[in-house]
Amino acid sequence: MSEPNVDAQEQTGAGRPLTGELFAARSAATPSAVAVICGATKLSYREVEERANRIAHHLIAAGAGPDTVVGVCLGRGPDLLPVLHGIWKAGAAYLPLDPALPPDRITYMLADAQAPILVTESAWTSRVDGFTGTRVFMDTDREALEARPATPPGLLTDPDQLAYVLYTSGSTGRPKGVMIGHRALANLLASVRDDIAPARRATWLASTSISFDISGLELHLPLITGGRVVLASEAQAKDAAALVELIDTQRVTHVQATPSGWRLLLAAGFDNYAVTALAGGEPVDPQLAADLQDKVQRLVNVYGPTETTIWSTFSEIPENPGTISIGGPLANTGVYVLTEELQRVPPGVAGQLYIDGHGLARGYFGRPDLTAEKFLPNPYGGTGSRLYATGDLARFLPDGTLECLGRIDNQVKIRGYRIELGEIEACLREHGRVRDAVVAVRETGARSGSGSGSGEKALVGYVVTVDGSAPDATELRAHLTTTLPEYMVPAAYMAIDRVPLSNSGKVDLRALPAPDLAAFAAERYVAPRTPVEERLAAVWS
C-alpha cells in the first residue's frame, strides 16, 4: 500500500495544520519508522505518539489544559520528545528548564510563568526543591503513566494557544518569558522545511539545550517531515569530538549551531559533505564561512530573535562571499529597516530592524508594559498588525538582502546566547563587597595581554568595591553562578575606582582597562583523561 501524502494535507499561511497535528499524521502514515535515536534507544513514530498520549491523559488529570504552563526539567533522554508532545496534546504549553541552570533561576521561572505542574525526574529533585506545585516524575511515576490510555485525548489546539514559554535574559536583573503560540511555531517549521531544508526524512542532530530557542527546530522539524531526531546526550552535547562521531555514525544530514559551535566542531575534525549546515545566533565571519564551505553540502546563515520564533531570515552563503548577509525573510514574515520615528530608510542606510508576520510571539509573560514597548502597531500593514523591534542595526544591501550591523542597546550575543548585560551587573551589585558594576564584552585575545583578539568574545566584569580592594575573581564567579546560567558568568573581573562616563553621561566602555591574566577566575586544572581529550587539548594548546 502506498504511503498517504501527508504534505498534500497542508495549506498555506494561517490555515497550516499545527505541529502536533502534522506529527500525528506522520505517525499514522509511517508508524514503524524510527523517529528518535537516543544512545542505544530507538523510538518509532508509533511509540512517541502513544507515550505522548499517555502523558497527555496524565497531565489532564493533574489539571493541565489550554494555556496551562507545564515546566519540563529533564535530562537529554528518550522521554524528552514524548513529554513535549504530550504537553501539547493536553492543550498546554511547555516551559523548558535545563537542569544545568542554577536552582534559584529554575524556581524563579516556574513561579514567574505560574506553572502549576512540573515534569521532571528524581535525579533532578535538588534542582527543583523550590517548586510547590504538582510534580510528575518520569521514572518513579512510570507505572501510573503506563496505565493511561494510549489513544489521543481528543482535545483540539487553537492556533493562538501557547506552544511554549522560553525565558531570555532581562535588563532588570530577572529573565523574561517569551510566549510563543502554535501558529508561530508551525509557520517557522513549515517555512524552514520549504525554504531551507526541503529534504524529507532528513536526520537532524539535536544537541542544543532546551532552554535555547533553536532547540525547537532540531526537535520538532524532523518529526513533521518523516525524519529522525538524533538526540545527543549531555556528555555528547559538551564534547565536540563526540558530536562529530555522532554525526558520522548516525548519518546526520542537518546540523545547526552557532558560529562558536561550528568552530569547535571544525577543531574536532568535522568534515562531512552530506551535511546541510545552519549557522546562526551570532555573526558568521568570512573566515568561518571559508573553513566550512568545503566541508558541507550547503551552508545557510540564519537570523532571528526568540520573540519572532527561532529564525526569521536566511541566506545561503556562496563561495568567497564579500559581505555576509542575513538574507531575506522566511514565509509569512516581513522585515523593515526604520528610523526611531518608524520611517523607512533608503537602501544602504542603517536603521533598526523590525520584523512582522506569523512568527511574532504573543508577548512577554506577565509583562504588558514590556510587550507594548517592543511589539508596536504596524503602520505599514504588511504581513501582520504588529512590528517587533529587534534592537539590531541593519541595512538593505543593493541586492535587497539584509546586513546586520550589531546591537543598538546594552544587549549582546555570546556563543549564540542573547544576554542583557544589565542583568549580570544587577547580580554583581548584590555582592556585599561591590558598590557598582559594569559588564563589557572583550575579545579573548586580551587574556594573553596581546590585545590582538582572536574573534572570540568573553564577558568581563568591572567592579567598584566597597573598600577599594581588588576583587577576588573566583569569589565573584561563585556568587554569580548561584543565580545565573554559566554562559552569563563573566570570565574575568577587574577593580576600578569609578565607572567612567562619557560627556553624555553614559558609561564610556572605551575607558575600561583590558583585563590581564590575574583578572580571570582560577579553575582547578584537570588533565586530559581520554585519547579524544588529549587530541582536543593538543588542538587548543
- pLDDT tens track for 273-293: 999 999 998 888 888 899 999
Mean pLDDT of 488-492: 91
Q: What DSSP string describes 5-49?
A: -GGGG--SGGGSPPHHHHHHHHHHHSTTSEEEEETTEEEEHHHHH
User: Would you say residue 443 lies in a domain?
Assistant: yes
What is the spatial distance between Cα 455 and Cα 173, in angstroms, rounded to a whole number? 28
Please indicate, yes or no, if residue 296 is contained in any of the structural domains: no
Using one digit for the tens of pLDDT, what is the confidence trace for 131-187? 999 999 999 999 999 999 999 998 777 888 999 999 998 766 788 999 999 999 999
- pLDDT higher at 448 or 232: 232
- Going by pLDDT thresholds of 50, 70 and 90, the confidence category of residue 504 is low
In a domain, 193, yes or no: no
Query: Which alpha helices (DSSP H) does 383-456 contain, by range?
Result: 421-429
User: For 437-441, what is the mean pLDDT?
Assistant: 90
The residue among 125, 157, 189 that closes a domain is 157
- Give the domain extent around 485: 414-519
136 or 445, which is more confident: 136
Pick 532 or 390 by higher pLDDT: 390
* Other C-beta atoms lying within 10 Å of the C-beta of residue 34: 16
Residue 5's pLDDT band (cuts 50, 70, 90):
very low
446 has a pLDDT exceeding 80: no
- pLDDT of 452 > 60? The answer is no
pLDDT in tens, 459-477: 999 998 988 887 788 899 9
CATH number of domain containing 478: 3.30.300.30
Q: Is 70 exceeded by the pLDDT of residue 510?
A: yes
| Cβ-based burial of 525 (10 A; exposed 0-12, middle 13-18, buried ≥19) | exposed
The residue out of 157, 172, 194 marking a domain boundary is 157
pLDDT category at 521 given cuts 50, 70, 90 is low
Structural domain includes residue 50: yes
pLDDT higher than 90, residue 410 = no
- Residue 505's pLDDT band (cuts 50, 70, 90): low
Q: Give the mean model confidence (pLDDT) for residues 433-457.
A: 65
Q: What is the pLDDT of residue 171?
A: 67
pLDDT of residue 14: 44
Residue 254 has pLDDT above 70, yes or no: yes
Asked if pLDDT for residue 404 goes beyond 80, the answer is yes
What the block records as the C-alpha cell of 266 is 571544525
pLDDT of residue 9: 41
Query: Which DSSP symbol is given to 332?
Result: T
Total domains in the chain come to 2
- Give the pLDDT score at 517: 65
Asked whether residue 215 is domain-assigned, the answer is no
CATH code, domain carrying 143 = 3.40.50.980
Among left, alpha and beta (phi > 0; psi -120 to 50; other), residue 123 is alpha
Strand order in the sheet with 176-181: 134-137, 117-120, 69-73, 93-96, 162-168, 176-181, 363-364
For 20-34, what is the mean pLDDT? Answer: 91
Name the 3-class secondary structure at 96.
strand
* Distance (Å, whole) CA 266 – CA 210: 23
Residue 259 or residue 252, greater confidence:
252
**Residue 64 domain flag:** yes
Across all residues in the chain, what is the average pLDDT? 88
Q: Residue 376 in contact with residue 389, Cβ under 8 Å? A: yes
Grid coordinates belonging to 349? 542606510
Please write the tens of the pLDDT for every residue from 42-87: 999 999 999 999 999 999 999 999 999 999 999 999 999 999 999 9
What grid cell was written down for 361?
Answer: 510571539
pLDDT band at 436 (very low <50, low <70, confident <90, very high): confident
Q: Which of 163, 18, 19, 155 is nearest to 90 (CA)?
A: 155
pLDDT at 121 over 50: yes
Reported as type and span, the H/E element at residue 460 is: strand 457-465
- Which pLDDT value is given to residue 214? 94
Residue 388 lies in a domain: no
Does 418 map to a domain? yes
Confidence class for position 526, pLDDT limits 50, 70, 90: low
Helix (H, G, I), strand (E, B) or coil at 232: coil
